[in-house]
Amino acid sequence: VDAQIEKFQATDPDTVVQPIKEGDKEVRFGFINIHYYAAAATLYGDEVKGGYEYDGKAYDFKNDHVEGFNTCLGCHNPHTTEVKVEQCALCHEGVKTAEDLKSIRMISSAPDYDGDGDVKEGMAGEIEGLQAALYTAIQAYAKEVAGLAIVYDSAAYPYFFADADGDGKGDTSDKGPVAYSNWTPRLLKAAYNYQLSVKDPGAYAHGNKYIVQLLYDSIEDLNTKLSTPVDMSKMHRDDAGHFAGNTEAFRHWDAEEGNVPGACAKCHTATGLPQFLKEGTNITNHASNGFQCSTCHNEASWPARYEVNSVTFPSGAKLTFGEKVDANLCLLCHQGRESTVSVNNALKGLDEDTPSDKIRFRNIHYFAAGATLFGKDAQGIYQYEGKEYAGQFMHEGNLNKCTDCHDSHTLEVKVAACTGCHGVDDPEKIRLSLKEDYDGDGDATEGLAGEIETYQEKLYAAIQAYARDVAGVGIVYNPVAYPYFFADADGDGKADTSDKGLVAYASWTPRLLKAAYNYQYAMKDPGGYTHNPRYVLQAMYDSILDLKAKVPSIDTTGLVRP
C-alpha cells in the first residue's frame, strides 16, 4: 500500500490520485486487494504486517492459543480444512457446531470494542460491529472528500464500485460494473483494512485483537476528515494491562528477535511466571502477546491458581497476604526492582554531595504497588536513616489485598466498593483520616491524590535546584524515555541532545540519587494515594528536606509530614 502511494507521489492523503504514464501505458492508482483467506497474516498480526498499520500505532503480535492449538493444523483438518469443533468443545462450553465458535469470547476480551453495549457477544460480533462502522465511514469519506460515492461487493472484483447517482448500488456501463476510481491515499488504507477483515471469515479466532485494532484505526483516521464523524466514544481499541499484547510491556523486545531476557521474563511473558514458580528463577523466554490463562492458573490442577505463600522483595524482605492467598501472585511482579537496600549498596563510600561516575540512576520500575502497600516492611521507597515510616496499609473491612480492589483480569478498580463508604465516584477524591493540608496549598479537603501530586511538583523543583546549584549540571525528567533523567547543561528546561539522542544525566551525587529515586517511585505508582499515601508522602517530604540541607532556598512553606 505504501509502495503504491510512493510510486504515484501521492503526498496529500486526501487528494484523488491521478493516473501516471509508464511508457505508452496509463497506470491508475487503484484498490489493492489482500486476496482470500489470509489467515496466517491475521494470526501473526504485527509480526508480518498483513493489515495496513498506521504510523504511531502499536499492534498485537501472534495470537497464541493454548498448546496444541497454536497452528493451522492444530485447529483445521489438513484435507477438508474443516475446524475440529469437537476439540474446541473440550474447553469452550456450548460449542457444538462451527457456527457456535462465533460466540466465543475469552475473559481476556473485556472491553466493548464496537461500542454497542454488548460485552457478552462473541468476538465475531465485535468485529462485525466495527466493520459496519468502518463501511459507514468509508462511504461518508468517499462522498464528502473524494467526491464520488462508493459501494462494496464482496463477491465481485474489484470489490469497490462507483455510485455516482447515490442509489446505494454500483454504477454500470456497457462494459459492466464501474470500478471505483476516486481513490485517495487515506481512502485506500481504510478500504484495504476493511477488505482484509472481510476476506478472513475466521479472523475472530485467528487474530481478533489485531483486526479490531486495524478497523478502529481506519475509522479514526477517516474521522479526521468527516464533517460528521462516526461516533467512537464507546468503542475500545486495546485490552486491559495483562492482556494488552500490543503495549510496550510485551513488545519491548521485538527488535531483539522476540527474546525476553531472564531478568524480565517473569513479568513480561506469558510463560515466565510458571517457569519462575517451578524453577525459582528465569531464563530467556520468547516474547508473548500478553498473558494467557495459564500464566496464573495451574494447568495441572485447572482452574486453580498457583499457590504462593510468601514473596521475596528486592530488599530481601519476605512478605505475604497470608498462606495460599491468591493476591500473593500479584506481588511477584508488582514489587519493583530496587529498594532502600540496593540504593544504599550502590552509594557505599561515596561523598554525599560530590558527583561520581560510579553512580547511575536506580529505577524502581513500573507499578510497584505491592511495595507501596507494605510500606516500611518492603522498603521499596528510599527510606532515610533515622526516620519512621508507615508500615503495611490496612484498610477497614475486606479491602486489604490487590484483588479486593482490582478486577484480576481487567485490573480496573472496583469503584463501587469505594463509593459505598466514601461517597465519591472517583477514588482520587478520597481523603480517609489524613486531615491536615500536607502539601501547603491551603486545601485540606482535596483527595490524597491531589496532596501527592503537589508534593511531586515540589520535589521535582527541589531536585532541579540541587542539580543546578550543587551537582553543577541542570536536570530534567521525562516519564516515558529511559533513563528518565536527562542533562540540561544550558538551563533551557529541555533535555540536551547529541548525535546519539538525549543526553542521560551523569552528574549524580548520592543525595540527588536518593531524591530522584523517590520522585520516580511516586510517579511510577499512580495509585500510591490509595495503596499507602502516608508512606509516599513521608518519603517525598524527607527527600525535599534532605535536598534543602544543601540548598536553603528550596521552598518548604506549609509542608507537613504525615
Nearest Cα to 7, choosing from 16, 22, 15? 22
Residue 104 and residue 51 share a domain: yes
Q: Is 284 inside a domain boundary?
A: yes
**Are 386 and 367 contacting, i.e. CB atoms less than 8 angstroms apart?**
no
**Are 520 and 365 contacting, i.e. CB atoms less than 8 angstroms apart?**
no
Q: If you search the block for the grid coordinates 517511585, which residue do you land on?
A: 521
- Number of residues that make up the chain: 562
Q: Is 165 inside a domain boundary?
A: no
Q: Distance (Å, rounded) from C-alpha 66 to C-alpha 272?
A: 15
Question: What's the pLDDT score for residue 538?
Answer: 98
Task: Tell me which H or E stretch contains 502.
Answer: strand 501-502
- Beta bridge mates, 76: 83
DSSP per-residue string spanning 432-480: TT--S-TTSSS-SSS-HHHHHHHHHHHHHHHHHHHIIIIISSEEEE-TT
Residue 268 and residue 232 share a domain: no
Number of domains in the chain: 2
Residue 202 and residue 103 share a domain: yes
Low-confidence ranges of the chain (pLDDT < 70): none
Question: What's the pLDDT score for residue 119?
Answer: 95
Residue 86 and residue 46 share a domain: yes
Domain end, chosen from 301, 325, 342, is at 301
Task: Supply the DSSP symbol for 422.
Answer: H
Residue 291 and residue 263 share a domain: yes
Domain end, chosen from 280, 301, 322, is at 301
Residue 188 and residue 45 share a domain: yes
Residue 277 and residue 233 share a domain: no
Q: Is 550 inside a domain boundary?
A: no
Q: Is 361 inside a domain boundary?
A: no
Domain end, chosen from 241, 268, 289, is at 241
Question: What's the pLDDT score for residue 545?
Answer: 98
Question: What's the pLDDT score for residue 221?
Answer: 98
Question: What's the pLDDT score for residue 162?
Answer: 98
Question: What's the pLDDT score for residue 129?
Answer: 98
Residue 486 has phi, psi (to 5 degrees) of -130, 155
Q: Is 468 inside a domain boundary?
A: no
Residue 62 and residue 92 share a domain: yes
Residue 256 and residue 187 share a domain: no
Q: Is 56 inside a domain boundary?
A: yes
pTM: 0.91
Residue 195 and residue 236 share a domain: yes
Question: What's the pLDDT score for residue 248?
Answer: 93
Q: Is the peptide bond before 185 cis (omega within 30 degrees of 0)?
A: no
Tens of pLDDT, residue by residue over 167-192, are 999 999 999 999 999 999 999 999 99
Residue 96 and residue 71 share a domain: yes
Residue 188 and residue 72 share a domain: yes
Question: What's the pLDDT score for residue 76?
Answer: 96
- Residue-range definition of the domain harbouring residue 252: 247-301
- Beta bridge mates, 172: 177
Q: Is 281 inside a domain boundary?
A: yes
Q: Is 128 inside a domain boundary?
A: yes
Q: Is the peptide bond before 13 cis (omega within 30 degrees of 0)?
A: no
Tens of pLDDT, residue by residue over 325-383, are 999 999 999 999 999 999 999 999 999 999 999 999 999 999 999 999 999 999 999 99
